[in-house]
Chain A
Amino acid sequence: MDLVLQLLFTGIGIGAVYALVALGFVLIFRATNVVNFAQGEFSMVAAYLMVVCVELGLPYWLSFVIALAGMALLGVIFNLGVYYPLRHRTYLPVIIATIGASILLSNSVLAIYGPQPQVLQGWFETPGIQLGPVYLDSQYLLIIGVTILLVLFNFWFFEKTLLGKKLQATSQDKEMASLLGISVSTMIMITFIYSAVLGGLAGILVAPVLFVSIQMGSTIALKAFAATIIGGFGDVAGAIVGGLALGVIETFGAAYISVPYKDGFAFLVLIAFLVFRPQGIFGERVAEKA
C-alpha cells in the first residue's frame, strides 16, 4: 500500500509534465489546426538553455528567466520560419515541416553539445519531505504545484481576459475574427510564444528528475501526444487529465511489469484508445462539414 501511494505520487508528478506539454500541443492545434511535432523539442531546448546558464554561474532564478525568454524567442522564430510560410497549405506539409523542425532542433543541440546527458540540480536545497509512508520529492511537489497554478492561469486567461477571448475567437473562426478587427497573425504569434514557453517550462521542471538529454524532447512529446488523444483531441481539460493518467499508468507499469519497456506503455494505451474510444475521454470536435 505504501508503495502504491509512493508510485501514485511519482506518477502524478511525471504526468503533470506530460500535461503541460500536452497543453502546448492543444493550444497550437486549436489556433492553427496543426499538430506541432516540435513541441517536445521546446522542452529539450529550454532544459539545455538552463544547463548552460547554470554552468556559466548565473543564479538559478536568472537562468530560469533567461531560458524562458529564449523559449519565447524560439516561439517567434518557429512561427515565422516553419508555420507562417505554410499557413495556406493543407495540414500535411505543415506537419512535415514541424517534423523537420523537430529533427533540426534536436540534432543541432546534439551537434553543439554532444551526446552526454547533462545533470540539472533541483530548485530546492531540501531534497524532499517524508509524509507518513510517502516520501514527497521536492521537485515533484514543485511540478505539481506549478501545473495547478498554470491550469488556473490558463482558465482565467482564456475565459476572463480580452486577449484570451480574442485568441479563442481566432481559433474558432479565423476569417470572422479578422473581419472583427482581430489581427489573426498576431494571435497566432502569441499562441506560438505561449506554447513554446509552456513547453520550455515543462522541460525545465522535469530536467532535475530525468537527465537532460537529446531524446527527452521526443520522449515527452510522444507521451504528451498520447495524453491529448486519451483526453480527447483539442480539449484542454482532456490534455491535463490524459497527461496525469498516462504518468500514473507508466509509473505503475514500470514498477510492476517491465522497466526497459516503460516507454512502450504509452503507445499501448494509445492504440487501445484509438481502437476502442478514438474520441478520447472528453470527445473530439465534429468532423469537416460538406
Chain B
Amino acid sequence: MSASDNMIPAPAVRSKPLIIRHLPYFLGAAVLVALAASMQFDGYVLNILLQATTFSIAVFGLSVVLGLCGQINLAQAAFFGFGAYAVGLGTADLHLNFWLCLVGGCVIALIAGAFLGMSTLRLGGHYLAMVTISFQQIVTLVMINAIGVTHGPDGVANIRRPELFQSSQSYLAFCVAMLAIVGYLVWHLPDTKLGRAMRAVRDNELAAGVNGIDVFRTKVSAFAVCAALGGLAGGLFAGGFAYVSPDQFSFAESIQFLTMSLLGGVASPIGSAIGTGLLILIPEWLRFLKSVPGLYLAIYGLSVILIIRFMPDGIWGFVSDAFTRWRAHTGAPPVAGALQLKPATTGGDIVLEVTGLSKHFGGLKAVDGVDIAVKRGSVHALIGPNGSGKTTTLNVLSGLYKATSGKIVLDGTDITSMAPHQRTAAGLGRTFQNIRLFRSMTALENVEIGAERPGNTMIGKGDDALTERAMEALTFVGLGNRANELISSFSYGHQRLIEIARALASNPTLLLLDEPAAGLNSTEKLELHELLKRIAAQGLTILIIDHDMTLVSEAAQHITVLNFGRRIADGESMAVLRHPDVVSAYLGSE
C-alpha cells in the first residue's frame, strides 16, 4: 500500500514504485488546486464549486460502502450533518479551533457509523436500508427539536473558517486539495488488502468468509469509512457556507447523494465526482423546475429507477468497463515460478480429528455422531449417497454451519466454535460444489484474496509478493497465462481450477474439496486427477468429497462413508469399497 512496501525488488512484477506510477495524478491535482487558488470566480460560481467539491467527498464515501462493499447507506446526509454541526456549533457557539472541530466531526460520524453498522451488518441488506432510513429520520428529528443545542429550524450561523484560509478563494483551493487527497485514497483503496476484502464481500460473502476474510468487520469498516468521509465533507461544507440548517441534512439529501453516486458510477471516485458535478449543475441550469415543490425529487426517483435498469455501472462505469476489457486482453501477465506448498506441521500425525460431530436441523439429524481422522499428507475421501450428510459435514467443518455437538481439531487447534474466517486463518482451505468465485474480479485478484489469508507464511511483505504467490498458484493449475481475465470469460472447468488455485495460494494445512469433479467432462476429470496428485506430492493433506468412484478410489488412500448422517464404514480405500454396508448403501441390498 505504501511506497516502502514496493521497494522490495520483485522479479517481473510491477517494477515502478507506486509514487512514480501515480505521479500524473498528483500533478493534475496540483494544477487543479493552483487553478482554484488563482482564478477569479464570482460569488455564485464559487459557491457552486464549493458545493460540488464538498458533496463529492461525501459521495466518495458511498462509492466505498456501496460500490466497493455492496452495502447500502441511506443516511449519508445525516453523517454529513454530524460534520457540519460539529464545525458549526464548535466554531460559532463554543469558539473552538476549526481543525479540532473538523476532526471531531469526522470522529463522531465514524463512531456513529460504526455503531450503526455493528447493530445491523450481521443481518441482510434490507435491514441496513431500513435502519439507515430510520437513523436519518431520527437525526433530522433531533436537529429540529433539540433547540437548546442545535438552534432547531433556525440553524447555525456565523460559522468560522481556519485562519489560514479566510478568503473564499483560498478555502476553495483547500477543499479541492482535500478532494484530491481523499479521491486518491478512495481510488487506490480497491488494490489494498481492505479494499480487496470489501470487493470479495460484495461479490460473495460466503466465499469471502472461507477465504479468511472477516466479513462483518470488513462491512463495518466500509460503513465507518463512508460515515467518516460524510463527516469530513460536512465539516468542510459548514466552513465554506458559514451557515447550516436541518433541511440541508434531510432524507431528501441522502437520496440526492445516492443518485449522484449511481449516476456517475458507484464503483469509482471519478464516477462519484462526475455524478455530483452533474446533479449540482443540471438543477442550476433548469432553475425554473424548482418552482414546483417535489418535482426535482420526483425526477431523481425516476432517474434512480432508470439508471439501475439501463446503466447499472453509471456513466464512468460504462466508459471504464470498455477500457478494462480492452486492457485485460492485451496486458500480458507476469511469468511466475513454481508454487511451493509448505503445510504447517505443528500438531501430531492426525491433521484433522473430528469426534462425535452432529448437525441437527430441527428434528432432522443431517449429521449424527460422525468421527473422522485425517492423516497428515494423505488424500482422504468422504463419500456417501445423496443426502447422506457429506456437504453438511463439510459446511460444519468450514464453519458455515454451527455444530450441534462434537469437536473439530485442526492441527492441534480446537476450531469447533470458530467463525469461518478464523478457521481459514488456522489453516483450512476449501472449494465449493457450486463454484463461488468473486465474479467482478480477475482470476489473479481472486487468487490474491486467497493468498492474503491471515497466517500465510508463504508470502513476503507487499503487493508484489502477493501477486507473485497468486501467479504461482494460477500457473500451478495451468491458467497462469490468463491471469488478468475476468472470471466470466472462463469455462466451468477452469473456474473450478481457479477456486482450487485460490485455496492453494493460501498455503493451507488441510484442503477441503467439495465435489471437485462435478460437472467436469472426462478430459477435465483426468486433468483434475493429475492436479490432485501434484498437490499431494507436495505433502498437502486433502479431504475430498465426490461421487466419482474412479477418482475417489484412485486418488484417496483412506475413505470414510456416510449414510443417513452416520458413519457406516471407514478405512483403507479398497477394503471400504468392498464393505457390504457400502455396497448396499450405493446399490441397494439384494
Name the CB-closest residue of B to A102.
B301
Q: Is A155 an interface residue, CB under 8 A from the partner?
A: no
Contact check, B119 vs A260: say whether CB atoms are below 8 A apart: no
With both chains docked as a complex, state the minimum distance between the C-beta of A22 and any C-beta of chain B, in angstroms: 12
Q: Is A1 an interface residue, CB under 8 A from the partner?
A: no
Q: Is A100 an interface residue, CB under 8 A from the partner?
A: yes
Q: Is B49 an interface residue, CB under 8 A from the partner?
A: no
Kindly identify, within residues 239 to 268 of chain B, every residue whose CB is under 8 Å from any CB belonging to chain A.
251, 255, 258, 262
Q: Which residues of the other chain, A, contact B131 by a CB distance below 8 angstroms? A: 270-271, 274
Pick the contact of B130: A115, A225, A260 (CB < 8 A): A225
Contact check, B123 vs A274: say whether CB atoms are below 8 A apart: yes
Q: Is A131 an interface residue, CB under 8 A from the partner?
A: no
From B122, B123, B298, B391, residue with most partner A Cβ within 10 Å: B298
Q: Which residues of the other chain, A, contact B298 by a CB distance below 8 angstroms? A: 103-104, 107-108, 110-111
Q: Which residues of the other chain, A, contact B145 by a CB distance below 8 angstroms? A: 260-261
Distance between Cα atoms of A104 and B296 in the complex (Å): 9
Kindly identify, within residues 285 to 303 of chain B, every residue whose CB is under 8 Å from any CB belonging to chain A.
292-298, 300-303
Contact check, A35 vs B130: say whether CB atoms are below 8 A apart: yes
Name the CB-closest residue of B to A115.
B293
Q: Is A105 an interface residue, CB under 8 A from the partner?
A: yes
Distance between Cα atoms of A29 and B300 in the complex (Å): 25
Distance between Cα atoms of A115 and B292 in the complex (Å): 10
Distance between Cα atoms of A278 and B131 in the complex (Å): 13
Q: Which residues of the other chain, B, contact A34 by a CB distance below 8 angstroms? A: 126
Name the CB-closest residue of B to A262.
B141
Q: Is B432 an interface residue, CB under 8 A from the partner?
A: yes
Interface residue tally for chain A (C-beta within 8 Å): 52
Name the CB-closest residue of A to B300.
A103
From A86, A91, A107, residue with most partner B Cβ within 10 Å: A107
Name the CB-closest residue of B to A273.
B119
Q: Which residues of the other chain, B, contact A290 by a CB distance below 8 angstroms? A: 206, 391, 394-395, 398, 400, 432-433
Name the CB-closest residue of A to B205.
A288
Name the CB-closest residue of A to B292.
A111
Q: Is A128 an interface residue, CB under 8 A from the partner?
A: no
With both chains docked as a complex, state the minimum distance between the C-beta of A109 and any C-beta of chain B, in angstroms: 8
With both chains docked as a complex, state the minimum distance between the C-beta of B168 and any C-beta of chain A, in angstroms: 33
With both chains docked as a complex, state the minimum distance between the C-beta of B298 and any C-beta of chain A, in angstroms: 4
Contact check, B126 vs A35: say whether CB atoms are below 8 A apart: yes
Contact check, B141 vs A260: say whether CB atoms are below 8 A apart: yes
Q: Which residues of the other chain, A, contact B305 by a CB distance below 8 angstroms? A: 81-82, 97, 100-101, 104
Q: Which residues of the other chain, B, contact A275 by a CB distance below 8 angstroms? A: 119
Contact check, A105 vs B301: say whether CB atoms are below 8 A apart: yes
Distance between Cα atoms of A34 and B130 in the complex (Å): 13
Kindly identify, within residues 132 to 180 of chain A, every residue whose CB is under 8 Å from any CB belonging to chain B.
none
Q: Which residues of the other chain, A, contact B206 by a CB distance below 8 angstroms? A: 288, 290
Q: Which residues of the other chain, A, contact B293 by a CB distance below 8 angstroms? A: 110-111, 114-115
Distance between Cα atoms of A169 and B394 in the complex (Å): 30
Contact check, B304 vs A99: say whether CB atoms are below 8 A apart: yes
Contact check, A92 vs B300: say whether CB atoms are below 8 A apart: no
Q: Which residues of the other chain, B, contact A278 by a CB distance below 8 angstroms? A: 122-123, 127
Contact check, A222 vs B134: say whether CB atoms are below 8 A apart: yes
Contact check, B308 vs A93: say whether CB atoms are below 8 A apart: yes
Distance between Cα atoms of A100 and B138 in the complex (Å): 21
Q: Is A14 an interface residue, CB under 8 A from the partner?
A: no
Name the CB-closest residue of B to A85.
B309
Q: Which residues of the other chain, B, contact A229 by a CB distance below 8 angstroms? A: 127, 130
Contact with A along B452-475 (1 / 0, CB 8 A): 000000000000000000000000
Q: Is A253 an interface residue, CB under 8 A from the partner?
A: no
Q: Is A214 an interface residue, CB under 8 A from the partner?
A: yes
Distance between Cα atoms of A137 and B74 in the complex (Å): 37
Distance between Cα atoms of A225 and B123 in the complex (Å): 14
Q: Is A226 an interface residue, CB under 8 A from the partner?
A: yes
Distance between Cα atoms of A105 and B300 in the complex (Å): 11
Contact check, A263 vs B137: say whether CB atoms are below 8 A apart: yes
Q: Is A52 an interface residue, CB under 8 A from the partner?
A: no
Interface residue tally for chain B (C-beta within 8 Å): 50
Distance between Cα atoms of A81 and B308 in the complex (Å): 12
Contact check, A86 vs B130: say whether CB atoms are below 8 A apart: no
Distance between Cα atoms of A267 and B125 in the complex (Å): 17
Q: Is B47 an interface residue, CB under 8 A from the partner?
A: no
With both chains docked as a complex, state the minimum distance between the C-beta of A250 and any C-beta of chain B, in angstroms: 13
From B134, B312, B391, residue with most partner A Cβ within 10 Å: B134
Q: Is B72 an interface residue, CB under 8 A from the partner?
A: yes
Pick the contact of A95: B129, B294, B296, B297 (CB < 8 A): B129
Q: Is A64 an interface residue, CB under 8 A from the partner?
A: no
Q: Is A70 an interface residue, CB under 8 A from the partner?
A: no
Known: A37-B129, A103-B297, A111-B298. A264 touches B72 (CB 8 A): no
Distance between Cα atoms of A266 and B137 in the complex (Å): 11
Q: Is B133 an interface residue, CB under 8 A from the partner?
A: yes
Pick the contact of A92: B70, B296, B303, B304 (CB < 8 A): B70
Known: A96-B262, A111-B294, A115-B293. A103 touches B72 (CB 8 A): no
Contact with B along A254-290 (1 / 0, CB 8 A): 0000001101101100110011001000000010111
Distance between Cα atoms of A225 and B131 in the complex (Å): 9
Contact check, B125 vs A92: say whether CB atoms are below 8 A apart: yes
Contact check, B308 vs A86: say whether CB atoms are below 8 A apart: yes
Contact check, A107 vs B294: say whether CB atoms are below 8 A apart: yes
Q: Is B553 an interface residue, CB under 8 A from the partner?
A: no
Q: Is B187 an interface residue, CB under 8 A from the partner?
A: no
Q: Which residues of the other chain, B, contact A267 by a CB distance below 8 angstroms? A: 134-135, 137-138
Q: Is B120 an interface residue, CB under 8 A from the partner?
A: yes
Q: Which residues of the other chain, B, contact A226 by a CB distance below 8 angstroms? A: 130, 134
With both chains docked as a complex, state the minimum distance between the C-beta of A49 and any C-beta of chain B, in angstroms: 17
Contact check, A99 vs B74: say whether CB atoms are below 8 A apart: yes
Contact check, B304 vs A96: say whether CB atoms are below 8 A apart: yes
Q: Which residues of the other chain, B, contact A109 by a CB distance below 8 angstroms? A: 294
Known: A95-B129, A266-B134. A274 touches B120 (CB 8 A): yes
Pick the contact of B141: A108, A111, A261, A274 (CB < 8 A): A261
Distance between Cα atoms of A34 and B303 in the complex (Å): 20
With both chains docked as a complex, state the minimum distance between the C-beta of A179 and any C-beta of chain B, in angstroms: 19
With both chains docked as a complex, state the minimum distance between the C-beta of A265 and any C-beta of chain B, in angstroms: 10
Distance between Cα atoms of A289 and B145 in the complex (Å): 46
Contact check, B297 vs A222: say whether CB atoms are below 8 A apart: no
Distance between Cα atoms of A288 and B436 in the complex (Å): 13
Distance between Cα atoms of A288 and B204 in the complex (Å): 11
Known: A111-B293, A114-B293. A222 touches B133 (CB 8 A): yes
From A92, A218, A261, residue with most partner B Cβ within 10 Å: A92
Identify 25 residue pairs between A and B in the complex whose beta-carbon atoms are under 8 Å apart, listed by A's number.
A34-B126, A35-B126, A91-B124, A96-B72, A101-B305, A103-B297, A105-B301, A107-B296, A107-B297, A107-B298, A111-B293, A111-B295, A218-B133, A225-B130, A233-B124, A233-B127, A260-B145, A261-B145, A263-B137, A264-B138, A274-B119, A275-B119, A278-B122, A286-B361, A290-B433
Residues on A close to B: CB < 8 A? 29, 34-35, 37, 81-82, 85-86, 89, 91-93, 95-97, 99-111, 114-115, 214, 218, 222, 225-226, 229, 233, 260-261, 263-264, 266-267, 270-271, 274-275, 278, 286, 288-290
- Give the 4 A-B residue pairs with the shortest CB-CB distance, closest first: A100-B304, A110-B294, A104-B301, A103-B301
Known: A111-B298, A263-B141. 5 other contacts (CB 8 A): A97-B304, A97-B308, A104-B305, A106-B297, A222-B130
